[in-house]
Structure 1
Amino acid sequence: MPTLGESTQDNDPPILRFTDVQDLFDVIDYTTRDFLIVTNVSPSHFTEIEREREEQRRKFRFRRYDSNARILIITLPTEVHEALHLGIYMRYHTQLVPNGREESWISKGTTAFRQQGHPGGDGREGDSTGVPKPEREGKDKWPTLWWFRTSNHDVKIVILAKFDRQQHHILLEKSEEEISLPQGAITRGRAAAILQQGGVFAPVKRQSITITRDETTNPVSYNVTRGALVLGFRLRFLRDPGPQEGDFVLGIQDLQRFAKGVWAAAGLNERRACWR
């Protein structure tokens, strides 16, 4: 039988020591969480899990597989989980259309990507991903939206969204990579050239936005702290912006509407506040 570890916090995902595929699927069928950490997963185990998932048409996703640590993180999509990423990505895609950029962007959805040189090893699947066209057009091209190191630094922006029902808030975090180079080194070139010069890539959190639901107001309100969500054009399209092109901005009102949709997916309606 699988060994399911206890979480240290209510919001932490459960931890399972892998024994066999059927035991893993049994846990997936009965867990109420949207994430599951599985340890003791060898590359051959991962290949077997992946094959059985496809044959049985299971809907869970591989958030990350680390072949060295033998850890697999599984995403179990819920209505809230889907509302979190689709609520942002659909608004992002909508902004491409009026500027005529929809043909310059390819949505990759939950496509699985593998680390270069590790066809049976490290892998990841995002929730909503995409690539610029023609800069990243073609099979197995990593998205510019959404891993850093595993993609050989081809991914430029990562967005994490977390829903906390108990604290009544949504947390959005945007990260990018910074490059540190020895004195005199040149930053031009691909990641491999930068690393050969002694460069170091480090993920840096650029934005942290909290959206809090206030049920004491009539109607219920959503308070946004630390401003709009901004995704730079250059990092997404790998070129400088042209006329009428610019950064993607999800403003305060858009974030409030986004939050309203997430809470609706959580089964919490826009009920009026009550006083005695």
Structure 2
Amino acid sequence: MPTSVGSKQGDDPGTVRFTNVQDLFNVIDHTTRDSLTVINVSFDRLTEIDRIREEERRKFRFRYFDTKSRILIITITTTLHERLHKSLNYQMITKIHGMGLAKSWIDVGSPTLSAQGYAGRRGKEGDSSGGPKPERASKGAWPTLVIEAGVSQTLAQLQIGIRRWFSMSNHEVKIILLTKFDGTTILLEKWEEEIPVRPRATTMRHSLQHQEPVLRQTITIT
């Protein structure tokens, strides 16, 4: 069961119940985790958390928020977490520059993005992301490439966000890279979408709406 924010129960819980902003910030300041799931967060409370986060210049990110479930998943920018995704993103950008395409790619970073058709209700902030210019350079445009990192989260918890990225962007996100560190091993996964082969498929639009995430590649670094 989730503990209340600021309570003495449990040992560094990964899930906490929201009571107030300062108690939440206290948990964030003292946790050793790079991810925290916060329940019982209304949209008004999220707005308050975001405002104070900006005022105090705190570096944690909102990985996912949904008003219906009132669940907020926070990414805490530990040194290890940041190295995981930034190192991978740097390698990607270096390769793109080496191909002479530096002016055709924009490094989006960690923007706050709202799901299409759900403005003000759902949102995501990735770890690293990017896409081609000028198509993805406008404010609010979804990237084509997203990198998500995890240390305290399990691989299964990281994978939950894959479907959300594809669906919330209306399939504008094309590639998702996951990088997970478990203490001795770095696991990399590359995910894309494909249209399942179904008999008597109707329109292309219908098919696009029924794309499924597919694991294309796995790399294990020991």
Partner of 1:73: 73
Q: Which AA in structure 2 matches 1:2?
A: V
Q: In percent, how many aligned pairs have the same letter?
A: 52
- The 3-state SS of whatever aligns with 1:44 is helix
Q: Which AA in structure 2 matches 1:162?
A: K
Partner of 1:242: none
CA contact (8 A) 1:3 1:17 kept: no
CA contact (8 A) 1:182 1:198 kept: no
Taking structure 1 as reference, are residues 120 and 136 closer, same or farther at Cα in structure 2, changes over 3 Å only? same
The answer to whether 1:211 aligns with 2:214 is no
Whole-angstrom distance in 2 between the partners of 1:97 and 1:136: 17
What are the residue-to-residue correspondences of 1:147-186 with 2, within 5 Å? 147-165=165-183, 168-180=184-196, 183-186=200-203
> Over alpha carbons, which structure has the higher Rg?
1
Partner of 1:99: 99
Gaps of 5+ in 1: 188-193, 213-276
**Cα shift at 1:118:** 2.5
**Cα shift at 1:103:** 0.4
Whole-angstrom distance in 2 between the partners of 1:93 and 1:182: 41
Taking structure 1 as reference, are residues 199 and 31 closer, same or farther at Cα in structure 2, changes over 3 Å only? closer
Partner of 1:137: 137
State the TM-score, normalized to the length of structure 2.
0.82
CA contact (8 A) 2:18 2:41 kept: yes
Whole-angstrom distance in 2 between the partners of 1:6 and 1:64: 24
Aligned residue pairs, count = 199
Whole-angstrom distance in 1 between the partners of 2:30 and 2:195: 43
The correspondence for 1:2, drawn from 5, 13, 27, is: 5
Aligned Cα RMSD in Å? 2.1
**Cα shift at 1:48:** 1.4
CA contact (8 A) 2:6 2:24 kept: no
The answer to whether 1:54 aligns with 2:54 is yes
Taking structure 1 as reference, are residues 107 and 210 closer, same or farther at Cα in structure 2, changes over 3 Å only? same
CA contact (8 A) 2:195 2:208 kept: no
**Cα shift at 1:6:** 5.2
Whole-angstrom distance in 2 between the partners of 1:64 and 1:199: 21
**Cα shift at 1:94:** 0.6
Gaps of 5+ in 2: 147-164
State the TM-score, normalized to the length of structure 1.
0.67
CA contact (8 A) 1:15 1:37 kept: yes
Whole-angstrom distance in 2 between the partners of 1:170 and 1:198: 33
Whole-angstrom distance in 2 between the partners of 1:184 and 1:14: 43
